[in-house]
Structure 1
Amino acid sequence: MSTPSSSQGATGGKRDREGNGDKIPNRLVLCFDGTGNQFWGTPLDTNIVKLYQMCDRGSKKQYHYYQPGIGTYSVSESSLNTGFLGSIYRGILRLLDEGFANTFDHHVIAGYKFLMRYYKPGDKIYIFGFSRGAFTARFLARMITKIGLLSRGNEEMVPFAYRAYQDYESQASGDEAVEFMETFRDTFCRQKVGIHFLGLFDCVNSVAALEVPWPFLRKQPRLHAHPPAATHIRHAVSIDERRLKFKPALFCQDDDNATDHSNSNTQTNIREVYFAGNHGDVGGGWAATADGGIQLSDIALEWMLQELEDLPDPQEEKLAFESDRKKAFLEKFKQHRATAIKDSICHDALAWNKGWGWPSVMGWWVFELIPIFKRLELEGDKWVDTYWPPNRGQPRDIPACSELHSSVRERATVLGSKYRPQNSGLPKDLTLTGSDD
């Protein structure tokens, strides 16, 4: 059974710095992997694992938490050795969880308990996630920001806090849910616990527990716009993912407003940047390239690392990395970047010979042709719930507020007609961003 792991004070490699001194705040780092993803110890590892590997786990001022993705372990398992029938039953539970995210609450609560255990006033919280793990990270960040953080030792109250916040987000009871959540917060929780950095790789929100339970009525869960989830928000988004069940959960959807990321809290800054490739080409999880170079997903990882480095924090308060690991990645990235942009395949679950076998391709097309789930489509400058006509493998809508990473334009220039994104609403004047290597 894979289980979440946490570490602090472990022996590490060379460090960017030693976080000594009581005046320097602790840094709490939480990493939530994507659906079906876990540590493999191979290039199949996602960007979440790679980030965790680079973190300086020997720093005395930094605490770390890693959680395998939804569908990788059964939360009800009491033993690793379950026998033949137990293994079959466990496999069925994992398969159902991978499809419907039935254990979403457990994943949120586990991260919440980590913060209960280690958080002290003034600490800086960093949360990273990929896929449904990104939605877990985002939900957790908003839950803490809105309802607060229970004190250590009060673990029995965590399920009640979760239900209170979930009812608030789902708007199940209207003003009554809001009043109950606020009373719960004022009675039990530490307030003004802020999230310093929220880093997401292609956040998707396919969580059955947060959807209306009937076909044709199901809709994508949409989070309230305020308060902001974190001081700094960075979201790497896939341009080329087409699957209905992998529609992105964008921050500009929170307010039904697709035109900007403005927020009443001027201390918050949000960047949602689009990258070439499908869901896994942004968050990772694909096999290594034949030449041993970098993967398309490494482009988004390098961008995230640069965004962390560019934060306006004192150097001694920045996220601490093992300098050898980070340096090795960046050197390899610089060496192979141009090749990756030109030669890396854009995987596609809805096309033949693009990374999936024919049974998987046919299975994904079932969701595309049958209007089982509502989805958000961009109409003008508004996001609208729709289920008809079916998705039929249509590209994602890209709102005008979006940024296009410079590697996308480079790929289009090098490949010419072989790479021309056909996304609806793709503005001609998209802002280019990224490092000039």
Structure 2
Amino acid sequence: MATHRLLDPARAVTQGSSHHYGEEEHHEYDNDNHSGNYIPSGTMSPQKALSAGGQRRRGARKLVLCFDGTGNKFHGDESDSNILKIFRMLDRTAADQYHYYQPGIGTYVVSGSLSHTGVKARINSWYTKAKDSAVGSSFDQHVVGGYRFLMRFYVPGDEIYMFGFSRGAYIARFLAEMLDHIGLLSHGNEEMVKFAWKAFAQWQSRRGQLEEADDDDDDGEGKGKRGHKEEAAKKAHALHDYIKGFRETFSRPVGRIRFLGLFDTVNSVPRFEAAWMQRSKFPYTARSSARSQEQHQQHKRRLSASNSRYAPYRPRSSHNQMLTVSDVGDAMSCASMQTSEADPDEEPDEQDIDEVWFAGGHGDVGGGWEALDGRKSTSHVPLAWIVREAIRAGLPFDADKVRQLGCMHDAAELYATGAAQGSGKKKDKSQQQANPDIRVEDEATGGRRPVEMDDDNDNVINGNQGADFEEQMHKAHTSRIHDSLVYGGGLGILAVTGWKVMELMPFRRMDLQHDGSWKPIRWPLPRGEVRDVPPNVRVHGSVIRRLQQDETYRPGNLIIGGGGRGVRRAPPEYGIGEWVCVAEHGDPIGEVWRKMPLPFIFHVIENGPPEWLSANRWLVFYLSLSVVTLVTLKRWTAGRSNEAERPLHGKVVLFTGGTSGVGAQAARELASRGAQLVLLTREPPSDPFVAEYVQDLRDATGNQLIYAEQVDLASLHSIRTFATKWIDNAPPRRLDMIVLCAAALTPPGGERRETEEGIEHMWMVNFVANFHLLAILSPAIKAQPFDRDVRIIMTTCSSYIASPSLREAISTKNWSASTAYARSKLALNVFGQAFQKHLAAYKRPDQLPMNARVIFVDPGLSRTPSTRTWLTRGSLAGLGLYLAFYAVPWILLKSPYKAAQSILHAAMESELGRVSGGRLIKECSEVDFARAEVRDEAVAKKLWEETDALIERTEKESAKRRGAEKARLRKREEEEEERRKADEVGSLVEAIKKGKEAQKRQKGTGKRKDGMDR
């Protein structure tokens, strides 16, 4: 019987042990390492993984999903696809593994019977399978099949591995993105699967239509469709909100997929195309929304076929930003993988994505062709590569089967090392789990005999007993490659004819432009053109070996620059092109080459520098040193980025200083995450600038819950008016966060300014305004539920370090703008610490602890309007110098977006909601205050009392002034009223006088007339 040995990089061999659901295994490991072939830095060799496996968290199960390509199913010989071979090599006896295999599209149909005996049933089955192969009508059943498997077996902490070929690879990517958007329904909710699928399928189609509209706009063809595009965008946003609500209501988050291995991914599913013969783009969303406790890398490997020429089967890239070949056509085959040395459910900092292209057509990468001449087929090379990458990713395989299929170099030595590390010695046959005998009929004798897989016969399956591994690999490197568009190239006459007809149809495909960008085109017709290859293509060593040994193999898309642009065969003068090995030189599995990126550098290495370079070598050296120094300095001054996230939908945020500078960037980021913003602005909401700014922010973030309230931070009365109105609500308004980002800065050398209430301007805006606002809003903060994480974020500045002590009295003599600014920031820090203690000491009526905390943030120097005013001293001459030497502040100062990252960290870091307040955040990390005075209780008490008295005194005086002003206005109104009445009386008297005079004149005229008549 064959000995059953496990090739497991995550744990040592454990024959006879079982791991049931809910239990944990306990093993001992030693730390011996055994290194065989060269392993590039940054990756984990199988030998190293064996020794490092003991450090991995136990109990994590491995769920392996294998999706085969169109028409691929089990044959039991060398013509099986690579997906089937991978599935065969999995450890079927491991209690901590769950395996799922899915035949390709077009191989089965869902029916109530397992067989089709009648003629009508057979014809119907044949028609259904043919239609499925052509248009992928069962695509939804395939995706949902994998989804149901995960619903049944996945528990938090499990590691998910996916393999796929052709449409199966697209299914794997589609399922991965569905998990990211929809989440995973709990086991038992199978009735909800169809709703989840329907919502996600509609979202994919809607997103494809948006991308199509964008492409039409770029081509100048969509000018008359802007209304349609806007309507589609509204529907897409509504559908996005629906999906989000569905996920939050029914689904559980799924950890980051640990490994994704794809063979020549294609998208040929018309159901998800934007229009007839137009293929929409569905890039795999590699970053999952699920979070976990540790960090790890996500590893992704993708293989593509260099000589495939199917127009309908265009490869789909896994990472568009890194590899622009996502929408490419015919080039080579590539694999996507993700590996990690930590917990798989954790949000990774980065992805390990690699795309490697192999020689041959579609089936030469994913398998399916029969081997000839007793050698391995061409598809064996990508199979061995992806298996080794999966082992490095932590996926256990059966060592015997890996060796029998010829996918591992010196697997016996690897097993011996792993066994020594795992159990201390190799187990006997009697101690190992045995595979059952397989009995077959002997046609000659009519008897039955057992077929045994002997331990010494490692290559029974492939018929190459004792064959040298490297010799097999080198033969596979130059095995026959197939061309499905050439009669005699591997397919039958009808199949080739059908593919030729497809090449004459105007499918939309991605075309490589001269500038390196990709553009969707339909014309000219494909007519069997080769795939465009990106300039940064990485090819397997087997491609280079074939180029060197086969003079007839000269693919133009690889050799000629710019992807060959339709050239099937490169002219002889191009040779095999310029290539350089970038990984594992000489290794038959891991050797990778790429186009020489800078031929000049390699020319210099080989022939020495040219004369002009030798004559100016010091100039070149100093220029290079300067560039390196500037780049390093810029990276250091750019600041860190926030990596924390937490849900903000429905959270109410009061925000000061949110209309310019760092505050505007922070407000935009919070709004984009769904927070309800209340911007406190100096001007009323009806002001044209404020109204337009709020509307622009709503449009940019898609968040309509953004409002403005008038609060002049230079006026105590304005602050009290707003805050009093806020706390007068019954029950108290919801309040989750207060961000105090507003600040006033007088340029150096500027004159001292006072507010209308007589307080120095910077002292008022930077400190007193925040003190007054929080003092009035304190009851509203204390009234929030105990389980609501309330945060008061105060932006400060490192200038507080240079401030004079607050124990010293404020003097108007020898006043300095810089000193006054620093003093206001120091006072804010002292008050913030005192306010934190005030909140912590409050006794809630329900006797529960307070859940409100003050967090300080130092954003650092950035290129904001206030910083520009400070640098230029507010003068036109200084502004001219600033613009002339803008490169200096650009290098030394952060952008407002980068400066806002620490504010976002303080707002969204979940750990800050579980610790005490009063912490200072700088560069997204916690730091200590540089002045002990910040935590001095005596200083804080004195400052609080003095500020409270100042506010009380100022408000009384202000109230008196307002009262006197009102009395004066009232008296003026009364005097104006009396004057108006007097004027009216005078006008009336004058009118009466005029009337009497008119009557007298009329009487005199009448008398004269009577006298004349007489």
Report the TM-score when normalising by structure 2.
0.39
Give the structure 2 partner of residue 314 of structure 1. Answer: none
Given that residues 242 and 394 in structure 1 are in contact (C-alpha distance below 8 angstroms), is that contact kept between their aligned partners in structure 2?
yes
Note closer, same or farther for the CA distance 1:87–1:123 as it changes in structure 2 (3 Å cut).
Answer: same
Cα distance, 1:170 vs structure 2: 2.2
Give the structure 1 partner of residue 303 of structure 2. Answer: 236
Please state whether the residue corresponding to 1:144 is helix, strand or coil.
helix
Give the structure 1 partner of residue 412 of structure 2. Answer: none
Distance 2:399 2:68 in 1: 23
Q: Which has the higher contact order (CA 8 A, sep 6+)?
A: 1
Of residues 5, 28, 31, the one that matches 1:14 is 5
Distance 1:286 1:280 in 2: 7
Cα distance, 1:90 vs structure 2: 0.7
Given that residues 35 and 72 in structure 1 are in contact (C-alpha distance below 8 angstroms), is that contact kept between their aligned partners in structure 2?
yes
Note closer, same or farther for the CA distance 1:433–1:367 as it changes in structure 2 (3 Å cut).
Answer: farther
Distance 1:257 1:425 in 2: 12
Give the structure 2 partner of residue 298 of structure 1. Answer: 380
Of residues 162, 182, 186, the one that matches 1:127 is 162
Give the structure 2 partner of residue 422 of structure 1. Answer: 556
Give the structure 2 partner of residue 193 of structure 1. Answer: 255
Q: Which amino acid aligns with 2:365?
A: V
Which stretch shows the higher mean deviation, 347-356 or 226-235? 226-235
Report the TM-score when normalising by structure 1.
0.88
The structure number with the bigger radius of gyration is 2
Q: Where do residues 35-46 of structure 1 align in structure 2 (5 Å cutoff)?
A: 35-46=70-81
Of residues 314, 319, 337, the one that matches 2:395 is 319
Distance 1:102 1:183 in 2: 29
Distance 1:284 1:325 in 2: 18
Give the structure 1 partner of residue 125 of structure 2. Answer: 90
| 2:274 is aligned with 1:208 | no
Please state whether the residue corresponding to 1:179 is helix, strand or coil.
helix
Give the structure 1 partner of residue 201 of structure 2. Answer: 166
Please state whether the residue corresponding to 2:503 is helix, strand or coil.
helix
Distance 2:325 2:541 in 1: 22
Distance 2:286 2:371 in 1: 40
Please state whether the residue corresponding to 2:260 is helix, strand or coil.
strand
Q: Which amino acid aligns with 2:279?
A: K
| 2:282 is aligned with 1:222 | yes
Structure 2 alignment gaps of length 5 or more: 8-12, 26-57, 208-234, 290-296, 327-335, 337-346, 410-466, 565-576, 589-1014
Give the structure 1 partner of residue 738 of structure 2. Answer: none
- Off by >6 Å, runs of 4+ in structure 1: none
Note closer, same or farther for the CA distance 1:256–1:77 as it changes in structure 2 (3 Å cut).
Answer: farther
Distance 1:155 1:430 in 2: 52
Distance 1:352 1:377 in 2: 27
Number of matched pairs: 412
Please state whether the residue corresponding to 1:126 is helix, strand or coil.
strand
Q: Which amino acid aligns with 1:419?
A: Y
Distance 2:319 2:100 in 1: 28
Structure 1 alignment gaps of length 5 or more: 1-10, 312-317
Q: Which amino acid aligns with 1:233?
A: K
Give the structure 1 partner of residue 517 of structure 2. Answer: 382
Note closer, same or farther for the CA distance 1:255–1:77 as it changes in structure 2 (3 Å cut).
Answer: farther
Give the structure 2 partner of residue 341 of structure 1. Answer: 477
Distance 1:340 1:249 in 2: 26
Q: Where do residues 402-417 of structure 1 align in structure 2 (5 Å cutoff)?
A: 402-415=537-550, 417=551
Given that residues 144 and 194 in structure 1 are in contact (C-alpha distance below 8 angstroms), is that contact kept between their aligned partners in structure 2?
no
Note closer, same or farther for the CA distance 1:12–1:211 as it changes in structure 2 (3 Å cut).
Answer: farther
Give the structure 2 partner of residue 273 of structure 1. Answer: 356
Give the structure 2 partner of residue 315 of structure 1. Answer: none
Q: Which amino acid aligns with 1:284?
A: G
Distance 1:61 1:256 in 2: 35
Given that residues 240 and 421 in structure 1 are in contact (C-alpha distance below 8 angstroms), is that contact kept between their aligned partners in structure 2?
yes
Distance 1:340 1:81 in 2: 39
Distance 2:285 2:257 in 1: 15
Distance 1:12 1:109 in 2: 37
Per-residue CA deviations over 1:22-69 (Å, capped at 9, x if unaligned) read: 523100000011100011111110000000000001001111000100
Per-residue CA deviations over 1:319-354 (Å, capped at 9, x if unaligned) read: 221111112223655331222223x11100111221
Give the structure 1 partner of residue 192 of structure 2. Answer: 157
Given that residues 284 and 319 in structure 2 are in contact (C-alpha distance below 8 angstroms), is that contact kept between their aligned partners in structure 1?
no
Note closer, same or farther for the CA distance 1:117–1:135 as it changes in structure 2 (3 Å cut).
Answer: same
Distance 2:179 2:126 in 1: 33
Q: Which amino acid aligns with 1:310?
A: R
| 2:185 is aligned with 1:47 | no
Which stretch shows the higher mean deviation, 126-135 or 347-356? 347-356
Distance 1:71 1:12 in 2: 37
Given that residues 256 and 383 in structure 1 are in contact (C-alpha distance below 8 angstroms), is that contact kept between their aligned partners in structure 2?
no
Distance 2:527 2:178 in 1: 34
Note closer, same or farther for the CA distance 1:38–1:202 as it changes in structure 2 (3 Å cut).
Answer: same
Per-residue CA deviations over 1:166-192 (Å, capped at 9, x if unaligned) read: 222222531112111111000000114
Report percent identity of matched pairs. Answer: 39
Which stretch shows the higher mean deviation, 399-408 or 65-74? 399-408
Cα distance, 1:136 vs structure 2: 0.5
Give the structure 2 partner of residue 27 of structure 1. Answer: 62
The alignment's C-alpha RMSD in Å is 2.5
Cα distance, 1:141 vs structure 2: 1.1
Please state whether the residue corresponding to 1:244 is helix, strand or coil.
coil
Per-residue CA deviations over 1:238-262 (Å, capped at 9, x if unaligned) read: 1000110121111244799569x9x
Given that residues 317 and 325 in structure 2 are in contact (C-alpha distance below 8 angstroms), is that contact kept between their aligned partners in structure 1?
no
Given that residues 12 and 56 in structure 1 are in contact (C-alpha distance below 8 angstroms), is that contact kept between their aligned partners in structure 2?
no
Given that residues 258 and 401 in structure 1 are in contact (C-alpha distance below 8 angstroms), is that contact kept between their aligned partners in structure 2?
no
Note closer, same or farther for the CA distance 1:118–1:252 as it changes in structure 2 (3 Å cut).
Answer: closer
Of residues 482, 488, 499, the one that matches 1:353 is 488
Give the structure 2 partner of residue 70 of structure 1. Answer: 105
Which stretch shows the higher mean deviation, 172-181 or 406-415? 172-181
Distance 1:364 1:178 in 2: 38
Given that residues 310 and 503 in structure 2 are in contact (C-alpha distance below 8 angstroms), is that contact kept between their aligned partners in structure 1?
yes
